[in-house]
Amino acid sequence: MEQKKEKKDSTIKKLLSHGGKHSKFTYIGMALSGVSAIVVLFTIVYVWVTAKEALLAYPNISFEQLAPNAILALSAAIVGALIYIAALMCTHISAFRIARNLRTEGMKHLMKLPLGYFDGAGSGKLRRTLSENIGDTEGFLAHQLPDMVGAYVTPIAVIVMLFVFDWRLGLLSFVGIIACFLPYAMMMGNSRDNMELYMKALDAMNNEAVEYVRGVPVIKTFGGSIFSFKKFNDTIDEYKKRVSLICQGYRLPMILFQALLASLSFFMIYGGIFMLPKAESTLELLVDLVFYILFLPTCNTMIMKVMWMSEATGKAELSYQAVKQILDAKPLSYPEITQTPTSFDIEASGVTFQYPNGKVNAVENVSFTAKQGQTIAFVGESGGGKSTIVSLIASFFDVAEGSIKIGGIDIRNISEADMMKHISFVFQNTKLYKGSLLDNIREGNPNATTEEVERALQQARCEDIVAKMPNGLNTKVGTGGVFLSGGETQRIAIARAILKDSPIILLDEATAFTDPENEHEIQLAMASLAKDKTVILIAHRLSTVKNADCIHVIGGGHIIESGTHEDLMAQNGEYAEMFQEYTAAFDWKKLAERNQGVMA
C-alpha cells in the first residue's frame, strides 16, 4: 500500500515539475479544497443543531432561537462553495500551464527524434498521447487532485464528528462505513493492472484505426480482401476482451458496494431502534439519530469520491507514463564538433542493426560501396532488410555495429541538418500535406522561384498532373481540395526531390503505386533526378533496376549476391530466378490485357 502511495506521489510530483513557478497554485488549490471540505461539513452540523433545537423546544419554537444557527448553516455552505471555486481556479491555472508545457516539450522532443522512431510509434498513438493522455493529466490536476484532497480530508473530519455527537451512534456508523469499503477493496485489488491493460488495448486500437484508414487507398489499389481488416479487427477484439474482463471483475463488488451504501440509513434506523430501550432520553437519542441519518449521505458521497479518485489517479499515472515514453525516447547522439562531407561516396562496413523490441537482427554484417554518381539497387524478398539499410543510411536509426560513411565521414559525425541537406527521399508511402501543390513541391527548396518549380515539374514528367488541376500550381491538395493517386503523388515527390537537388537520392519503392504508363513516366523522371547523383534504389519491379551500376540481392538481412544485371543473370542464381519470374508474370499480364481488349 505504501509503495502504491509512493508511486502516486511520485507521479504527482513529476507532473508538477513541468509547471515551473505555476506549480505552487496546485498546492494552494489542494489546501483550499481541504478547507472547503471541512467548512461544508459544518453546514450539516448547523442544520442538525437547528433541527435539534426545534425538536427539543417544540411546540414553543421561536424564529429568534433558530435563526443564528440557520444563518451559520447557510454561511458555511456559501463560504465552502466560494473556497472550492477559488481552489479550482488555482488548480486550473497550474493544470493549463502544465498541459501546455507537456505538449510543447513533447513536440520539441519529437522534432529531435530520428525519423525511424515514428514508424515504430505510430501516428495514432502519438496523436492520442499528445492530445488525450495530456488532456487526462490536465483534468486530473485541475479537478480530480483537489477533489482527492477533499475526499481524504472529509473522512477524518467525519470520523471526528461521528464520535463527538454520540459515540454509540458514531461507532454504529463507523462499522457500516467500514463494511462498505470491503467490496471497494475487492474492486481496487487489481484495478491498476486492469487499467494498464485497458489503456494499452485502447492505444493499439486507436493506432490501428488511424493506420487502417490511411491504408485504404493501398487496399483499394490492390483490391485488398477482408483479410486486410484483420489486424484492426484483432485490436478491436482485444479491446472488447479487456473491457469485458474489467466489467466482469467489478460486477459483484460494485453490486455489493452500492447495496451497502444504499443500506446505511436503514442500518442506522434499526440500530437506533435497538438502542432506544436503554437510552436515558428517548427524545435526545431520536434527535441524534436524525442527525446521523442526515449525515450519512455525506459519507456515501465521500466513499464514492474516494473510489473515483483512485481510478482517476491510476488513469493519470498511465497517461503520464505514455507521455514520458515520448520524453524519454533517446534522439541520435551527435558530437559537439561535426564534420561536413565534401564528396558523396557511401560506404557501409559490417553494418548490423536490430529494431527496438526486435528478436533478431534486421540486417547483419552488411557491407557495400556506392561511388558518387553511381546508382546502387537493392532487391529481394519483403522483410529482408532493404528498407532498413536505406533508413540507416539516412540516420533514421543508429547502427548497432559497423559504420556507414558519406565522403569518408562516419554519418554519426555529420550533423542532422547536413544529413537532411545532402539527402533527398522518395518513399513508397510518400504523403502530401494539406496546402497548395506549389507549397508541397517547394518543401524541397522553400526559396525556389515559380520558374524553378515548373522546371522541376517538367523534369519529373508532371506537366499532365498540373494541367488537369483546376487552379494549376495553386490548387489545394487534401481536405477541401483535390486528391492525387498514389502514382501521381510519387511523381510530385520526385519533382520535390529534383527541386532540392541533393547529391544523394534514396528511392524506396518509388514505383509502388503506379500502372505501366505511370511507371514509364517515373522511370524517365528518376533518370533526370539521378543525373550526377549517388542513388540508392529499392524496387520490387526489377525493370526499374536493370540499368543500375550494381545490384545487391538481400535476403534474411544479408547480401546474397552482387553485380550488374548482366553479371547476375550470368550467375543464374537468386536474382536470375527472380527476374525470370518477374518477366513471366509481366508477359502474362500483358497477354491477359490484350485478350481482354479483344473480347471487348
* Predicted confidence (pLDDT) at residue 220 exceeds the cutoff of 70: no
Question: Between 47 and 25, whose confidence is greater?
Answer: 25
* Predicted confidence (pLDDT) at residue 69 exceeds the cutoff of 70: yes
Any idea which architecture 101-328 has in CATH? Up-down Bundle (1.20)
Q: What distance, in Å, lies between the first and last C-alpha atoms of the chain? A: 77
User: Residues 470-495: pLDDT tens digits?
Assistant: 888 888 887 667 778 777 888 888 88
Lowest-confidence pick of 52-56, 99-103, 106-110, 526-530: 526-530
CA dist., res. 209 & res. 234, Å (int): 11
Question: Between 160 and 184, whose confidence is greater?
Answer: 160
* Predicted confidence (pLDDT) at residue 547 exceeds the cutoff of 60: yes
Task: Transcribe 397-442 into DSSP letters.
Answer: S--SEEEEEETTEEGGGS-HHHHHHHEEEEETT----SEEHHHHHH
Handedness of CA 294, 300, 303, 306 (dihedral sign): negative
CA dist., res. 154 & res. 134, Å (int): 29
Task: Give the pairing type, strands 346-353 and 504-508.
Answer: unpaired
* Predicted confidence (pLDDT) at residue 82 exceeds the cutoff of 80: yes
Residue partners of 357: CB distance under 8 A and separation at least 6: none
CA dist., res. 179 & res. 152, Å (int): 18
Quickly state the pLDDT bin for 75 (edges 50, 70, 90): very high
> Once rounded to an integer, what is the mean pLDDT over residues 338-357?
89
Task: Give the pairing type, strands 504-508 and 363-370.
Answer: unpaired
User: Residues 549-585: pLDDT tens digits?
Assistant: 999 999 888 999 999 999 999 998 888 888 888 777 6
591: exposed, middle or buried (Cβ count in 10 Å: 0-12, 13-18, 19+): exposed
Q: What is the 3-state secondary structure (H, E, C) of 556-586?
A: CCEEEEEECHHHHHHHCCHHHHHHHHHHHHH
Quickly state the pLDDT bin for 600 (edges 50, 70, 90): very low
Q: What is the pLDDT of residue 405?
A: 94
CATH of 346-573, one of 3.40.50.2000, 3.30.450.20, 2.30.110.10, 3.40.50.300: 3.40.50.300
Question: Between 68 and 9, whose confidence is greater?
Answer: 68
CA dist., res. 225 & res. 220, Å (int): 9
Find where cell 520526385 sits.
494
* Predicted confidence (pLDDT) at residue 532 exceeds the cutoff of 70: yes
CA dist., res. 439 & res. 562, Å (int): 40
- Dihedrals phi, psi of 590, to nearest 5 degrees: -65, -40
Domain ranges of the chain: 101-328, 346-573
Quickly state the pLDDT bin for 100 (edges 50, 70, 90): very high
The secondary structure of residue 533, as a DSSP letter, is S
3-state secondary structure of 551: strand
Lowest-confidence pick of 14-28, 418-432, 489-503: 418-432
Question: Between 541 and 407, whose confidence is greater?
Answer: 407
CA dist., res. 54 & res. 77, Å (int): 21
Q: What is the pLDDT of residue 550?
A: 93
Find where cell 502516486 sits.
8
- Dihedrals phi, psi of 158, to nearest 5 degrees: -65, -45
Note whether 549 and 374 are within 8 A (CB): yes
Q: What is the pLDDT of residue 519?
A: 62
Residue partners of 576: CB distance under 8 A and separation at least 6: 568, 569
CA dist., res. 92 & res. 71, Å (int): 31
34: exposed, middle or buried (Cβ count in 10 Å: 0-12, 13-18, 19+): buried
CA dist., res. 315 & res. 312, Å (int): 5
Strand partners, 405: 347, 410
User: Residues 414-460: pLDDT tens digits?
Assistant: 888 888 888 988 877 677 888 888 888 898 888 888 888 888 888 88
CA dist., res. 173 & res. 176, Å (int): 5
* Predicted confidence (pLDDT) at residue 15 exceeds the cutoff of 70: yes
In sequence order, which ranges of 140-190 are alpha helices (DSSP H)?
A: 145-165, 167-188
User: Residues 256-314: pLDDT tens digits?
Assistant: 777 777 677 777 777 777 776 666 667 677 777 777 776 666 666 666 666 667 667 77
Find where cell 550533423 sits.
415
Q: What is the pLDDT of residue 6?
A: 44
Lowest-confidence pick of 220-229, 305-314, 470-479, 500-509: 220-229
Q: What is the pLDDT of residue 218?
A: 58
> Once rounded to an integer, what is the mean pLDDT over residues 375-379?
91
